[in-house]
Chain A
Amino acid sequence: MEAETIKQTHKSSQKAEHISGSEAVIKCLLAEGVGILYGYPGGAIMPVYDELYKYQDKIHHVLTRHEQGATHAAQGYARISGKVGVAIATSGPGATNLITGIADAQIDSTPMVCITGQVGSHLLGTDAFQETDIIGISTPVTKWNHQITKASEIPEVLAKAFYIAKTGRPGPVLVDITKDAQFELFDFKYEKCTRIRSYVPVPKTDKKALKEAAKLINNAKKPLIVWGQGVILSKAEAEFKAVIEKAGIPSAWTILGASALPTSHYLNIGMVGMHGNYAPNVLTNDCDVLIAIGMRFDDRVTGDLSRYAKQAKVVHFEIDPAEVDKNVKTDVAVLGDAKASLKSLLPLLNKNSHKDWHQKFKDLYNIEYEKVIKNDLHPTKEGLTMGEVLKEINTQTKGEAAIVSDVGQHQMIACRYANFNKTKSNITSGGLGTMGFALPAAIGAKMAAPEREVVAIIGDGGYQMTIQELGTIFQQKVPVKIVILNNEFLGMVRQWQQLFFDKRYASTEMTNPDFVAIAKGYFIEAKKVTTRKDLKAAVKEMIATDGPYFLEVRVEKEDNVFPMIPTGASVSDIRLE
């Protein structure tokens, strides 16, 4: 059992272990290696903030401008670093403002610990000022949550919180602490949690299943891999690459799986799903063995399930047993951690290249290139396309940047066209589709990985949902690069209105403010580009700038994102126009 007390890890705190609950919270965070957390103070969490003040040389608290921003920043931090992100807020509205970020982290399996203050325990259930049942509210969107009413519970519960958040399939955990528990003095001792008897983070891998999977893969004539974020979460990038290279299998990614394999890799055949690439979508319904790795067959990936890969044998590598057979019936399920499973799979695989099968992907790519990609990346019309902005960012960052995208058309374009050389480079709200995610998530990402270029790509709609976080960027001097692709529309909804609602553009057109002036109001360098000839220089200036930078690009108002699988259609009915 790995047990360590704070005394051992932090020699400076050898004074009496008889401390307050709120000081204990900080000591727990330090023991878990938390150096940075995001939050917003308020009445019920003030004792903890008082300790944050005293411990400010050891732990950096980032004041966001809204609690939702704190959760997204914590998510960005977690997604780029693989570590647990931490957000903190007060009771009542502070706590409820966390919910969107928590739900986002839950559906995207992001490790996060949220700490909320709560009214004094004698006031629980009395409708006290700023009292809300945050445990009840957060239950369906957390992996685990717990309310603390006694200081003595703090070490054990926080240790459990971090253990649960980061192990197995990661997720968000919320710990609610009453104000009296924060004040209460008690004898503090911290032991990391390494086991919970009712919790099996990683199911045992069945050797027989692994052998059956290998047999199916070895006998396949037209195998197709679809990988998801599981590859990144289990740090299995190298094992994954070794497997696909040995077996020569064309491999496509889900939106959250992006960047686990470099974009330029010869076996990387692009994105699956609603706005994914043509070839992997069409050939999903042609492959003979479909190998899913660390993904969950989201409806945006599969389209109509009754016409999804029905001809194929399905092999599913998965850490969460509840995902197996949830949407797509599998022939062989290999439970376990992707890293370990792929490592064991490798020696069982035969070397292969599947040349003819690869050619099919190339042929379909050429069709997509002619119909879609060429016009997106090398447009001949006057208006700027989102795609050419991405191409320019690729060129100037040499594909080394982490791209943080919001939700909507620009997100699909960013994911389709960004070049990813490094893993953990595509930070976006996949499952929940949370507009307003990108700006605060970029803050967290940049603070977790200051050595990396972090470029936030945001639409004019989503940007205005969390625009106040410019204040955080300014105050904390976070050198993120912000690119707004402004089409003066809620573009994705407008696209659907055009295609499925006879162009009735209900409440999707936006009259926008002077974004450059707003950024400058926060003393952030800013520029606006409206013509193609100015794009290159502007992106260059942005990348060359040391501090934060804001770039607004006015793009064509009514461009659509293609390819597209309409709702209810099969993946192979994907439309190119």
Chain B
Amino acid sequence: MSAQIIYTVSIYTENNIGLLNRISAIFQRRHINIESINSSVSEIENVTKWIMVVKLSEEQMKKIIGQIEKQVEVIKAYYHTEEETIYQESCMFKIKSNLLFDERHIQNIIKESNSRIVTVNKDFFVIEKSGRKEEIDLLYRELNVFGIMQFTRSGRIAVTKDEMKISTMLAALQH
């Protein structure tokens, strides 16, 4: 078995209710865990773009891309290594307000990590950060020392360094 690599998968699809089920079943059947998944509008009108993060061998990845593209409502699917994409994820922390004043170091952490305070009230404050997984992991470790009331992070979003020829391809398909 060849080495397991983290891949970012971009899938351009029609906006269809059942498609998530259909795509996730392709991974489930092969016992592959989806690390994260994000669905949004794309740069093309009426085309949905999904970004998934999975860990598997390149051989498996190629076969799965084939199975994904085979689905009627999938327009195109790509896979990329970490080096080929610019990627970010986002997270939020809810923390007790008194800590902001009692533990002055928290303010430094917020500044140094380029986080942003979203809201403050007398009970809690919320900070938000976007960045790479490692940066968010670090911030989590730093804040966890003081106690976190709630934490959540988003799935990865990514764009590729190289051009994706999907728009030209779609334009050609329209005729």
- Name A's B-contacting residues (CB within 8 A): 135-136, 139-140, 143-147, 164, 196-199, 320-322, 324-326
Contact = CB atoms under 8 A, between A and B. Distances in A.
Contact of A322 (B70, B75, B173): B70
Contacts of A325: 62-63
Of B17, B18, B22, most A-chain CB atoms within 10 Å:
B18
Is the contact region of chain A dominated by helix, strand, or loop, or is it mixed? mixed
Q: Is the interface of B mostly helix, strand, loop or mixed?
A: helix
B66 A197 contact: no
Contacts of B74: 198
A320 B70 contact: yes
A135 B18 contact: yes
B69 A322 contact: yes
Contacts of A147: 17-18
A491 to B, nearest CB: 31
| Most B C-beta atoms less than 10 A away, residue of A136, A196, A322 | A322
Contacts of A164: 72
B21 interface: yes
B18 A139 contact: yes
Nearest to A321: B66
The 4 closest A-B pairs by CB, nearest first: A322-B66, A198-B75, A144-B72, A140-B25
B174 interface: yes
B4 interface: no
Interface of B: 13-14, 17-18, 21-22, 25, 29, 62-63, 66-67, 69-70, 72-75, 170, 173-174
Nearest to A329: B59
Contact of B70 (A140, A197, A321): A321
A324 B70 CA distance: 12
Nearest to A142: B22
A197 B25 contact: no
Contacts of A198: 13-14, 72-75
A321 B63 CA distance: 10
B50 to A, nearest CB: 13
Contacts of B17: 147
A139 B21 contact: yes
A136 B14 CA distance: 18
Nearest to B16: A146
8 contacts: A135-B18, A136-B21, A164-B72, A197-B14, A197-B75, A199-B73, A322-B70, A326-B66
A222 B73 CA distance: 42
Nearest to A144: B72
B33 to A, nearest CB: 18
Contacts of B70: 320-322
B25 A199 contact: no
B170 A197 contact: yes
A147 B70 CA distance: 20
B69 A321 contact: yes
